[in-house]
Amino acid sequence: MYLKYCSLLLILNNFVNGFGFFNIRNTFNYLNLELSSQITSISEDIKTRWIEQKFDHFDTNEKRKWKMRYFEGLSLWKSGGPVYLFLGGESEASSSWLSTGVMYDLAKETNGAMYVSEHRFYGDSKPLNGTDANSFKYLSSRQALADNAHLLKTIKSLPNFNNSKVVVIGGSYSGNLAAWMRLMYPDLVDAAIASSGPVLAKTDFYEYLEKVNDNYEQYGGPGCLDNIKNIFSRYEKLLQSSAGIEQLKKEENICNECDMTVSENQQVFFSYKVGHFMEYSQYGTTNKIENHCKSLNLSSELRRSQNGSKSFFWSERAECNNYDFNAMIKEYNSEENDWILAWIYQTCTEFGYFQTTSSKSQPFTDNIRVDFYTKMCTALFGSEFDKKRVDAGVEKTNEMYGGLKPNVTNVVFSNGDIDPWSTLGVLEDLSYKAPAVVIPRASHCRDLFSNGKGDYEELKEARKHIKYLIKSWIGAEDYLSM
């Protein structure tokens, strides 16, 4: 690939957080990588399994089947112990969840069997290899829930597990799935942990950047938010004139052929720039947010010292940055990005989750709009995937699952209070048996990990409380004190 497209690949990485657009890492990939770094040893007892699934669980005329991958770990299991299933999300599944993390801790404390499923159309679990709308016809949360139900029924049919309680666990999108498994299959699932799950589908997800704003205002230090506003206001002003665009191209080393008068290209640029702030809010800590602000202050001072001359950032670099919308769409359509296309398809048909700048309570100017995302949907999947289609899918999703008030029991909804995704999650108890756990200073899905070095007491206590709830719901009386 030519050097001028190197930053396009960065944008591709920014474009999906696994949970929406424009965060630095795909959520499920990010969690898998972090989890792997915690593992000191991997059990030799972990097995890779495959199970036949229907293409369409709800169409009796559809006879085709495909094979779904899942992982099995029975090293901690003893007769009578529960079955734990970590639900796969929007990328390749990882067997790491069988060696550390909250599911491993629960299984160790209750003699449980552990499983990890892989979501259809991600990783090696693909009913079809195509990435057009016709192939993705069978990609939906409803079908994925039915896949996991079939897997659990198969496991429960084994003599060893006939009487075992079942607990499902998930984070981010798969946190939604965990709550919805208990909702849709209450006779099969006894309890669930729904970590950082944005259970409310929403087209214009402006609340995301409002939370980023709040985080930088609260933890960034004096002058931080004003500095961010000045940086983005300057970008906006430069893009309003040809001379300003030329100046911006020099400072940001934007490729000469990238037409920055095009609205979509400008929105790609803003999305890339905002993505860094998203990452620190979603996956960072309050200290990282503070340090990020300090680096911004330093950058601003250095830029002022240059008096508008050649940018100090890029003076030594030979490559250039291409923020071209059409080039990005073309890159998405490459074979290695099939998982990105799969998640974008789900946002275009079920969830929205379009992180916009439409709110005035954020510092990034209003240059990332809903139409940017819907244009992506139509460019990738066809003209019928327009805003009307997105809105209809969002409405259907909320009707099916109940939005912020799913009718469930024995589900714990956990969220970190600096996580921008928490703004679409359950933050108050739905009932005594559907409690919300909001963890101070915690980011996205932090409760899913095992206690580690540097974890503060509130996070450790939250994990302990979550495990206590699960044990009480499945009748593991002998283990409640652990």
**pLDDT per residue as tens digits for the range 240-278:** 999 999 999 999 999 999 999 999 999 999 999 999 899
pLDDT(57) > 70? yes
Please state which of the ranges 315-319, 406-410, 459-463 shows the lowest mean pLDDT: 315-319
pLDDT at residue 314 in the model = 35
pLDDT at residue 14 in the model = 45
In the chain, list all ranges with CATH 3.40.50.1820. Answer: 39-199+406-479
Over residues 92-107, the pLDDT tens digits come to 999 999 999 999 999 9
Average pLDDT over residues 178-194: 98
pLDDT at residue 376 in the model = 95
Report the mean per-residue pLDDT for the chain.
89
pLDDT(24) > 50? no
Give the position of tokens 């327009």.
386
pLDDT(71) > 90? yes
Please state which of the ranges 46-55, 203-212, 299-308, 405-414 shows the lowest mean pLDDT: 299-308
pLDDT(478) > 80? no
User: Is 455:243 a contact under the CB 8 Å cutoff?
Assistant: no
CA 250 to mean position of chain CA atoms = 34
DSSP-assigned letters across all residues of 396-456:
HHHHHH-TTS---SSEEEEEETT-GGGGGS--S-SBTTB-EEEETT--TTGGGSPP-TT--
Angle at 14 between CA 244 and CA 10, to 5 degrees: 70
pLDDT at residue 480 in the model = 66
Over residues 446-462, the pLDDT tens digits come to 999 999 888 999 999 99
pTM: 0.91
Spatial neighbors of 168 by CB under 8 A, at least 6 apart, are 84, 85, 86, 87, 148, 177, 178, 181, 182, 189, 191, 192, 193
Q: In the structure encoding, which two tokens stand for residue 51, read together?
A: 């199970």
pLDDT(32) > 90? no
pLDDT(113) > 60? yes
User: Is 99:39 a contact under the CB 8 Å cutoff?
Assistant: yes
Closest CA to 86 of 66, 109, 107: 107
Average pLDDT over residues 279-298: 91
Domain spanning 39-199+406-479: CATH 3.40.50.1820: yes
pLDDT at residue 337 in the model = 82
pLDDT at residue 302 in the model = 53
State the DSSP code for 58: T
Type of residue found at 235: Y
Average pLDDT over residues 236-240: 97
Over residues 335-357, the pLDDT tens digits come to 778 888 999 999 999 999 999 99
pLDDT at residue 435 in the model = 98
pLDDT at residue 310 in the model = 40
CB-based burial label for 301 (10 Å; 0-12, 13-18, 19+): exposed
pLDDT(173) > 80? yes
